[in-house]
């Protein structure tokens, strides 16, 4: 939403808006683009002469601005409808989907197309460092877009990616997530089947061939399909992957590639993006140059600072699989260092007990773990709520020091005396986490 707001502002539209919690990096990005969101929702925030009200998918009935829109008969759309109706028609739309890796893969693919001179439009759910912004709504015939399976709006419960008129679809992986809107994995698979059902016959579907859920949902797809992965059944097989503190190298077919990102999951992300670019006849040399020069995404293994020899890393990971993969990757980047994980249960799924058993296995990859109180406790019935103390107990039983603290300040107070030079602290949250990164760095400097 923030990226589209900034892109519309650049095209000359007057853009205003509201949000409940506004924090960097998106808040500072919007300010630079001339969009100043108002914190909190009030009916008077909506201008009397508004032409279109775009309703985000986190907004529910009862929100004072939604009620004002309905009562005053304003014209309103979901964000995916805005994209479909005003930007995606008639384009070659490259849609990147999956439970994990969407943002990185979308950014990689957009950067490859940019390096190849295609000047794509794009919409990415993060801030790619190479591109400098998460959205560009131009007149290019190519549009690279992150396709989220989350629902569209309170008035449209279909997945967002259904609106994106796909010509090429990447399916990175499929796991259970979004427990607030999906009851089980089968409902998520159904959404992906619906997406693949609208890919044209002259389009392309790229699947993670190592993921049986991906292979299963594509069984009846009429479009061309290529499986990408490490297993022998994959037509585009990833081979000879090597990981070091500087990045990763791998082969895809006869081509060798190098990226500064770490970990098997990032190698697969890069292989997916490279295969997609090949479909549009991007030369291997251009793909190679783009992957090598890709510098990452804000809040994906992002180093926020170093103080007293301790490196503090910010990561958007909140699903157990993503957390575990990131911790393994950090071990490859920082061999021999102690790694601490600080986790805030904040997403609609991790606030619930859905991953009560999986979270300890993911977090105990670290050498020590801190878990904060479940965010917005009052919204989740106690019997459905994640029990952080039980997660901590399970990690401690596996021989790792683990602690439960109610908030960021308490965590900082507890962890700072325990830290040593060369330690790595990885903070996992899909929110601002009360600016814990800067609080931790400030305390270390002091």
Give me the pLDDT at residue 299, please: 83
> Which pLDDT tens digit goes with each residue over 24-82?
878 888 899 999 889 999 999 999 999 999 999 889 999 999 999 999 999 999 999 99
Beta bridge partners of 146: 96
d(CA 177, CA 189): 11
Structure tokens at 191: 């959404």
User: What's the predicted TM-score (pTM) here?
Assistant: 0.84
Cβ proximity of 173 and 265 under 8 Å: no
DSSP-derived secondary structure for 86-142:
IIITTSEEEEEESSSSHHHHHHHHHHHHHHTT---EEE-SS-BTTTSSSEE--S-SE
- Is residue 430 over pLDDT 90? no
Give me the pLDDT at residue 182, please: 87
d(CA 376, CA 399): 30
Q: How confident is the model at residue 198 (pLDDT cuts 50, 70, 90)?
A: very high
113 or 350, greater pLDDT: 113
> Which pLDDT tens digit goes with each residue over 245-298?
889 999 998 999 999 999 899 999 999 999 999 999 999 999 999 999 999 888
- Structural domains for the chain: 2-74 (3.40.50.720), 80-293 (3.40.1190.10), 302-445 (3.90.190.20)
Q: How confident is the model at residue 22 (pLDDT cuts 50, 70, 90)?
A: confident
Beta bridge partners of 372: 405
- Is residue 420 over pLDDT 80? yes
């Amino acid at each position: 939403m923030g990226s589209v707001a900034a892109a519309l502002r650049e095209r000359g539209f007057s853009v205003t808006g509201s949000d409940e919690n506004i924090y960097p990096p998106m808040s500072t990005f919007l300010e630079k683009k001339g969009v100043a969101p108002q914190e909190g929702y009030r009916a008077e925030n909506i201008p009397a002469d508004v032409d279109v009200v775009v309703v985000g998918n986190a907004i529910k009935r009862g929100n004072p601005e939604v009620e004002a829109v309905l009562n005053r008969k304003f014209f309103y759309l979901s964000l995916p409808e805005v994209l479909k109706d005003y930007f995606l028609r008639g384009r070659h739309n490259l849609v990147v989907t999956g439970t994990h890796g969407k943002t990185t893969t979308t950014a990689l693919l957009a950067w490859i197309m940019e390096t190849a001179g295609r000047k794509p439009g794009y919409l990415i759910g993060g801030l790619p460092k190479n591109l400098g912004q998460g959205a560009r709504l131009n007149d290019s015939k190519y549009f690279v877009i992150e396709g989220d399976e989350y629902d569209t709006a309170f008035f449209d419960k279909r997945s967002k990616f259904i609106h994106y008129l796909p010509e090429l679809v990447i399916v990175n992986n499929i796991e259970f997530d979004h427990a607030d809107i999906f009851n089980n994995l089968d409902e998520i698979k159904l959404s992906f089947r619906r997406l693949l059902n609208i890919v044209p016959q002259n389009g392309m579907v790229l699947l993670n061939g190592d993921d049986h859920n991906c292979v299963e949902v594509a069984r009846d797809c009429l479009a061309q399909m290529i499986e990408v992965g490490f297993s022998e059944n994959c037509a585009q097989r990833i081979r000879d992957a090597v990981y070091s503190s500087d990045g990763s190298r791998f082969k895809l077919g006869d081509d060798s590639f190098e990226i500064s990102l770490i970990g098997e999951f990032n190698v697969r992300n890069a292989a997916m993006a490279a295969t997609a670019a090949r479909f549009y006849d991007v030369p291997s040399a251009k793909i190679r140059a783009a992957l090598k020069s890709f510098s990452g995404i804000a809040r994906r293994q992002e180093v926020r600072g170093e103080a007293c020899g301790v490196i503090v890393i910010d990561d958007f990971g909140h699903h157990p699989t993503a957390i575990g993969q990131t911790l393994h990757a950090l071990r490859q980047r920082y061999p021999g260092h102690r790694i601490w994980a600080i986790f805030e249960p904040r997403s609609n799924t991790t606030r619930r007990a859905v991953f009560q058993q999986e979270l300890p296995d993911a977090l105990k990859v670290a050498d020590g773990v801190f878990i904060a109180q479940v965010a917005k406790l009052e919204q989740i019935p106690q019997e459905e709520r994640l029990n952080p103390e039980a997660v901590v107990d399970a990690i401690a039983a596996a021989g790792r020091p683990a602690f439960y603290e109610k908030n960021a300040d308490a965590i900082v107070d507890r962890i700072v005396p325990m830290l040593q030079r060369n330690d790595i602290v990885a903070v996992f949250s899909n929110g601002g986490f009360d600016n814990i990164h800067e609080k931790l760095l400030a305390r270390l400097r002091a």
